């Protein structure tokens, strides 16, 4: 094994794993970190990688030869060759200087690998109450029932054809939220159902795809979804209806939990907090 758990575990303030993102706290073991190193050699998706469902090749890999692993801090660089390239250094450590050390490593590796973008990613514990960045949230389906909220929410394929045809312009309007990409996957038949809300015979909100897959422990996880509501109809409760319909679907299909990433104090963040999700910590990302 490369990693020493007695060095790594004390600095894991939030359950974030390079190339994988958030994981369930129970899955945060030395094995999952070792798996990312093995995947860097093979270039394959790990069986429980959430990006595996999109097919193709894994774009982001750990630069295993450049990992810095010491008793009080660990720096794990990753490289993504998509576009003009992005290099990230995940900085695990309690000292404030860990960010500066990560930035120095990122600057050096950016030059070595000839990429344009460099980031330092620092996980922070839930006690920090980070005023910015991304919050990691946990929905535990064993905590209570998730009833069907009703309302104008159905899988897109269950709406009349005329309503289904409005998904394309909706997806294009919400391309910044990933809906255009989701639409391409839907057209290719490569994803699970998508739940949509309609008003006046046109789609105005969507959440999906709805899929359950085993995590690193073999527990069924409701996979992350794209989620968007047209700005013109926000404030009418449609986002909450879509969210609750998705949670009902997940619980009905045997999911044990779901992990979400929300922009701190953004609409989805406030919704998840109001719905009682547990905050597992934050991800603070800065340019290197």
Report how many domains make up the chain. 2
| Neighbour-count burial of 84, counting CB atoms closer than 10 A to its CB (0-12 exposed, 13-18 middle, 19+ buried) | exposed
CATH label of the domain that carries residue 157: 3.40.630.30
Among the three residues 68, 92, 124, which one is the final residue of a domain in this structure? 124
Residue entry with tokens 């597992």: 280
Q: Name the residue among 31, 27, 3 with its Cα closest to residue 92.
A: 3
Residues 85 and 216 reside in one and the same domain: no
- Provide the residue range defining the domain that includes 274: 137-280
In this structure, are 30 and 96 located in the same domain?
Answer: yes
Predicted pLDDT of residue 82: 86
pLDDT band at 83 (very low <50, low <70, confident <90, very high): confident
Q: State which of 124, 155, 182 marks the end of a domain.
A: 124
Please confirm whether the linkage preceding 209 is cis (ω < 30° from 0). yes
Distance from the Cα of residue 4 to its chain's centroid: 26
d(CA 180, CA 203): 14
Residues 6+ apart with CB under 8 A from 16: 22, 23, 90, 121, 123, 136, 281, 283
CA triple 95-97-101, angle to 5 deg = 125
Query: What does the pLDDT average to over 63-72?
Result: 97
Q: Based on the domain organization, do 117 and 17 belong to the same domain?
A: yes
**285, part of any domain:** no
Question: Count of H helices and E strands in the chain?
Answer: 8, 16
- Expressed in angstroms, the distance from the first to the final Cα of the chain is 29
* 227-248 pLDDT, tens digit each: 999 999 999 999 999 999 999 9
Final residue belonging to a domain, choices 124, 147, 177: 124
- Asked if 149 and 245 sit in the same domain, the reply is yes
Q: Which residues have C-beta within 8 Å of that of residue 112, sequence separation ≥ 6?
A: none
Q: How confident is the model at residue 40 (pLDDT cuts 50, 70, 90)?
A: very high
Both 104 and 143 in one domain: the answer is: no
Whether 129 is covered by a domain: the verdict is no
Same domain for 164 and 245, yes or no, is yes
Q: Is residue 209 part of a domain?
A: yes
Are residues 119 and 180 both part of a single domain? no
State the SS3 of 21-59.
EECCHHHCCHHHHHHHHHHHHHCCCCCCCHHHHHCCCCC
54 pLDDT band, cuts 50/70/90, is confident
Q: Is residue 62 domain-shared with residue 160, that is, in the same domain?
A: no
**Does residue 105 sit in the same domain as residue 153?**
no
154 with 71, same domain?
Answer: no
Write the pLDDT tens digit of every residue in 94-133. 998 999 999 999 999 999 999 989 999 999 999 988 778 9
Please provide residue 159's backbone torsions phi and psi, each rounded to the nearest 5 degrees: -85, 155
């Amino acid at each position: 094994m490369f990693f020493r758990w007695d060095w790594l575990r004390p600095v894991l303030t939030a359950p974030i794993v390079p190339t994988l993102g958030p994981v369930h706290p129970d899955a945060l073991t030395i094995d999952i970190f070792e798996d990312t190193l093995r995947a860097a050699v093979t270039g394959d998706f790990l069986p429980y990688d959430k990006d595996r469902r999109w097919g193709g090749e894994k774009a982001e890999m750990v630069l295993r030869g450049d990992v810095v692993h010491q008793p009080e801090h660990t720096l794990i660089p990753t490289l993504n060759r998509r576009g003009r390239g992005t290099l990230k250094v995940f900085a695990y450590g309690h000292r404030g200087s860990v960010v500066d050390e990560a930035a120095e490593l990122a600057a050096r590796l950016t030059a070595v690998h000839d990429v344009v973008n460099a980031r330092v990613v620092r996980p922070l514990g839930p006690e920090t109450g980070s005023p910015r960045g991304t919050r990691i949230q946990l929905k535990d389906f064993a905590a209570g029932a998730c009833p069907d909220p009703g309302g104008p929410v159905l899988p897109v394929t269950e709406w009349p054809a005329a309503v289904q045809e409005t998904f394309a312009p909706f997806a294009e309007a919400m391309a910044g939220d990933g809906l255009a990409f989701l639409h391409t996957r839907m057209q290719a038949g490569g994803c699970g159902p998508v739940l949509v809300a309609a008003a006046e015979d046109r789609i105005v909100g969507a959440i999906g795809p709805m899929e359950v897959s085993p995590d690193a422990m073999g527990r069924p996880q409701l996979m992350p979804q794209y989620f968007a509501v047209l700005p013109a109809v926000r404030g009418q409760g449609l986002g909450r209806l879509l969210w609750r319909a998705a949670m009902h679907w997940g619980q009905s299909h045997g999911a044990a939990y779901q992990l979400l990433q929300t922009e701190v104090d953004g609409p989805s963040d406030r919704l998840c907090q109001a719905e009682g999700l547990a905050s597992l910590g934050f991800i603070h990302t800065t340019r290197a």
